[in-house]
């Protein structure tokens, strides 16, 4: 996942302390003018290199090749991507400025007396420290963003993906767990306390991803906050097929009319992908409160038609992997 290996970003104080303490050790290893030159070079290099490394560790949000639209919108739902890009830009500016200060002062440390050289080196150190302190807020925001994004669930937006939606307790999680033949992986996004369910299964040697989105697609759009709405928009980039699971028996605690309204809202938002209405609990059809015109009926509890629903989703996706020899 593109955010999990992001390094910790140092504070301005930590970076200054690191640069100047290393510089002091470098100066002790030499003498005279050479010591002053070595101290300046060491301090400037540490500051410039560390700041550049902070920036280059991040993907470039300006290019789709670096950040898939799914992850871009997920990131923007959690942090302010524009603010983050600005912070990274300011940090790169400071990295370059540190090198400029080194280039400006290094000639002044040659062919002069030691007292003058020491004076110039101290001036350079003061300017280096000032540059780093100017971006203290930027470094803090970059590290906060890193902490917010690095633990996102590892969803692969390049794998064919089925997204399962519907009200709570209609059987979504049980369906995901059943078709993946294991307990689905669960991890929490910062915008939902319930956790995203994620599982995988194979058909004809192709791995499919199946996602349950509690806290996002289990209530009407008007009940979602701004962050959750943006997260749902991100899911649009992920879904290759939507399964909207209904409980016509009403045992889930929600009337079928409300469930159908949610289904219609999801179908309207995900109009570019196949959306199937799946009525669950067909084994208790005698308790159904209404005749639902579903695309498929199944019972996760008994296994009836579960594979049929899954096969229909796979067929609707129609995924064909790119072969290495294809142009």
Q: What does the pLDDT look like over 175-189, one tens digit per residue?
A: 988 898 656 666 677
pLDDT value of position 300: 92
> Which residues face 277 on adjacent strands?
244
273 and 306 in contact (C-beta within 8 Å)?
no
C-alpha distances (whole Å) from 306 to each of 179, 243, 298 are: 8, 12, 6
pLDDT value of position 224: 87
H-type helices in the chain, by residue range? 12-28, 32-56, 69-78, 81-105, 114-134, 136-149, 172-179, 226-238, 256-269, 306-317
Q: How many CA atoms lie within 13 A of 122 on its CB side?
A: 6
Distance CA 90, CA 146 (A): 17
pLDDT value of position 282: 87
Q: Taking Cα atoms as reference points, which of 308, 78, 109, 313 lies closest to residue 208?
A: 313
Out of 41-45, 181-185, 199-203, which region has the weakest mean confidence (pLDDT)?
Answer: 181-185
> Would you state the structure tokens that stand for residue 261, as one six-digit string?
């309204």
On the question of pLDDT at 62 being above 60, the answer is yes
18-26 average pLDDT score: 96
> Which residues face 165 on adjacent strands?
244
pTM, whole model, 2 decimals? 0.81
């Amino acid at each position: 996942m593109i955010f999990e290996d992001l390094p910790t970003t140092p504070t301005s104080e930590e970076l200054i302390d690191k640069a100047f303490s290393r510089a002091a050790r470098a100066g002790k290893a030499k003498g005279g003018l050479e010591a002053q030159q070595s101290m300046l070079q060491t301090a400037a290099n540490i500051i410039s290199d560390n700041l550049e490394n902070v920036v280059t560790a991040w993907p470039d949000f300006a290019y789709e090749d670096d950040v898939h639209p799914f992850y871009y919108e997920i990131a923007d739902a959690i942090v302010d991507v524009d603010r983050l890009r600005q912070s990274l830009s300011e940090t790169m500016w400071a990295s370059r400025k540190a090198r400029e200060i080194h280039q400006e002062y290094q000639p002044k440390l040659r062919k002069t007396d030691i007292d003058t050289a020491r004076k110039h080196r101290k001036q350079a150190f003061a300017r280096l420290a000032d540059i780093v302190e100017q971006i203290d807020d930027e470094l803090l925001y970059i590290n906060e963003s890193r902490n917010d994004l690095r633990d996102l669930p590892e969803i692969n937006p390049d794998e064919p993906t089925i997204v399962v939606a519907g009200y709570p307790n209609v059987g979504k999680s049980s369906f995901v767990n059943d078709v993946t033949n294991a307990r689905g992986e669960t991890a929490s996004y910062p915008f939902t306390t319930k956790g995203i369910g994620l599982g995988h299964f194979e058909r004809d040697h192709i791995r499919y991803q199946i996602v349950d989105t509690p806290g996002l697609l289990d209530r009407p759009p008007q009940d979602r906050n701004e962050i959750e709405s943006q997260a749902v928009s991100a899911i649009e980039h992920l879904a290759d097929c939507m399964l909207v699971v209904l409980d016509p028996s009403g045992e889930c605690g929600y009337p079928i009319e409300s469930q159908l309204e949610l289904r219609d809202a999801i179908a309207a938002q995900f109009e570019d992908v196949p959306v199937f209405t799946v009525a669950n609990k067909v084994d208790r059809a005698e308790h159904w409160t209404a005749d639902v015109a579903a695309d498929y009926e199944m019972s996760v509890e008994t296994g009836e038609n579960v594979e049929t629903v899954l096969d229909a989703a796979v067929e609707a996706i129609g995924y064909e992997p790119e072969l290495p020899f294809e142009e």
